[in-house]
Amino acid sequence: MPMDIPILWPIYAAVFIVGSGIGSFLNVVIYRVPRGESIVKPGSHCPHCNHAIKPYENIPILSYIFLRGRCSGCQKPISPRYPAVEALMGGLAMLMLWKYGLTREFFIYSALSAVLIALSVIDIQTMRLPNPIVLTGAILALGLNLILRFDFLWQMLAGVLVGLLLMAFMGVVGKLLFRKEALGMGDVKLAAMIGLFVGLWHTLGMFVLGIAVGALVGIATTVISGKDWSRRIPFGPFLALGTILSLLWGKPLWQWYIHLAMR
Ligand SMILES: [Zn+2]
């Protein structure tokens, strides 16, 4: 491990605090972008009573706890999604620090985590991956990679290409299996955006791990709920999860697999 937790715990704490603050902004994006609202104006307000949220009511995670999950204006419950997204972003930023140390990869993959959290929650809620967010992600990937690691250029190109090819392949297989369009264009664009961020190897990791987890969850929920086998489930969150798993544990998982396969 690049860092020793007990000595560097203040850095971990700072990263969690900044991360949960970014998570608070992601909540705004998650609520407003699918509704076509501006993410800057107006200021945060309760969707039920329009109560303007005061600065001390806007502290990530803590405000939800001291407000006991209710709006101070109308007492209607605040969605637990708010503290959950804040904690998730803070937690993922900490995991990236644990894995990569204070490196350029830490910054690049924390930025990717933020984009993936916003897109996953929106995909689960609306079955859509809004173009403006995917495009913002692609611009972030291009900018951060070109500024922080120019030597990554070929990896970026390979990542996009392989992302697109694998999704096209999956689209064909899905069509044969389910006899209808299994993948949306949103999923294809998402895979290309992730490829631009992480390069060739983690794009492969995203694909393998995303499909593995997606298939497990798909089979489990179909068996448990008894719903239509070919019903549409959002695939974006699985691509996101596959990416995060690959970034954090791709190498040990791959080594474990080779170890099993070559016995
Ligand atoms: Zn209210």
Cα 126 to ligand 1 centroid, rounded to whole Å: 23
* Same domain? 122 vs 198: yes
Cα 77 to ligand 1 centroid, rounded to whole Å: 8
- pLDDT value for 244: 98
Cα 70 to ligand 1 centroid, rounded to whole Å: 8
- pLDDT value for 230: 63
pTM score: 0.92
Select from 96, 129, 150 the last residue of a domain. 96
* Same domain? 136 vs 92: no
Task: Show the domain range for 204.
Answer: 103-263
Cα 36 to ligand 1 centroid, rounded to whole Å: 21
- pLDDT value for 13: 96
Q: Round to whole Å and give the CA distance between 109 and 174.
A: 29
* Same domain? 56 vs 88: yes
* Same domain? 198 vs 135: yes
- Cα 230 versus chain centre, distance: 25
Cα 123 to ligand 1 centroid, rounded to whole Å: 26
- Cα 244 versus chain centre, distance: 8
Count of CB atoms within 10 A of residue 99's CB? 17
Select from 40, 73, 96 the last residue of a domain. 96
* Same domain? 130 vs 260: yes
- pLDDT value for 231: 66
> Could you tell me the mean pLDDT of each successive run of 10 residues in the chain, 263 residues long?
68 97 97 93 89 92 94 94 98 97 96 98 94 97 96 95 92 80 86 97 95 88 76 86 97 89 78
Select from 61, 76, 96 the last residue of a domain. 96
CB neighbour burial string for 207-232, b if at least 16 within 10 angstroms, e if fewer: bbbbbebbeeebeeeeeeeeeeeeee
- pLDDT value for 229: 63
Total count of domains within the chain: 2
- pLDDT value for 215: 87
Cα 133 to ligand 1 centroid, rounded to whole Å: 28
Cα 24 to ligand 1 centroid, rounded to whole Å: 18
